[in-house]
Amino acid sequence: MKLTMDYFKRLKKLCQGSAEAVDWLEEDKRAWSLFCLGWVLGGFFIYGFTIGLWRAPLQGLWAAIKSPVLIAATLSGTAAANWMLASLLGARFSFRQSLVIQLMGYAVMVTILLSLAPIGLFMDWAAPSATGPGKMLGHAIITIFQVTVIAGVGIASHVRLFHLLSRVCRDKTIARLIFLAWLAENLLLGSQLSWYLRPFIGKPTIPVEFYCDEALVKGSFYDDLTEKVSRLAK
C-alpha cells in the first residue's frame, strides 16, 4: 500500500514536470513500469465508458473494454519503432528506458483524460439524443468532441515527454526531433487502429455492437472525421 501511494506521488510529480522523473529511468525495478501500465489501462477503461455512453450504456461498456486494447495495441506497434527512431536521431537510451518514457507519457495522458471525464459525461447528456430527430448531429458532435479532446491531451502529454527527453538527451534539438517523430507516429497509428476497432461511439442508425465488420474494408478514420466536420458545418 505504501509503495502504491508513493507511486501516486510520483505520478503527480510526473504531471508537474519534475526533474526527478529522469532518475526513475535508471531503476531496474519493474514495479514503476507495471504501475504506469496498470494506471494507463485502468484509466482508459474508465474514460472509454464516457465515449460510448451517449449511444447506450452497453456501447459505453464495449468502448470501455476496447479503449485499453487500443492503447496497448498502439504502444505495442510503436514501442520498437520509436526506440529505433530515437536511436537514429542520436538518443542514447536503451529500449527499456524508451518504453518507460512512453509509458509515463501515456500515464500523463490518461490522468488528464480522467480529469476531463465529467465534461465528457456532460456532453453525453447535453448533445442531441441518440434516439431523437437530431441523432446524426449528436453523433457528429460527440465524435468531434472526443477526437479533439483525445488528440489535444495526447499532444499535451507528448509536450511533457519533450521536457523529459530534453533532460535525458541533454540536447534540445535531438529531443525536439524525437518529440515530433513520436507524436506523428502515435497519432497516425492510434487514430487508424481506433477505426479498425470501431465502433467506440456507435452510430445511432445501427444496433449497438461490439465490432463493425466493415472496419477493415471501408473508408478510414480521416474520411469519417471529414464527413462529421462537414455535417457539423452545415
Note the pLDDT tens digit of each residue in 174-224. Answer: 888 888 888 888 888 888 888 888 889 988 888 888 887 765 556 677 677
Torsion angle of C-alpha atoms 114, 116, 118, 124, degrees rounded to 10:
-110
Residue 85: pLDDT band (50, 70, 90) is confident
Residue 126: pLDDT band (50, 70, 90) is very high
What percent of the chain shows pLDDT beyond 70?
92
The predicted structure's pLDDT at residue 192:
85
CA atoms of 20 and 23, how far apart (whole Å) = 5
The predicted structure's pLDDT at residue 24:
81
How much is the mean pLDDT over the chain? 86
The predicted structure's pLDDT at residue 67:
96
The predicted structure's pLDDT at residue 224:
72
Q: What are phi and psi of 204, to 5 degrees?
A: -75, -10
Give domain limits for the chain.
Answer: 2-233
pLDDT at 26 over 90: no
The predicted structure's pLDDT at residue 69:
95
Please list, residue by residue across 113-133, b when 16 or more beta carbons sit within 10 angstroms of its beta carbon and e when fewer do.
Answer: bbeebeebeebbeebbebeee
Among 13-27, 104-118, 176-190, whose mean pLDDT is lowest? 13-27
Note the pLDDT tens digit of each residue in 31-75. Answer: 888 999 999 999 999 999 999 999 999 999 999 999 999 999 999
CA atoms of 70 and 188, how far apart (whole Å) = 13
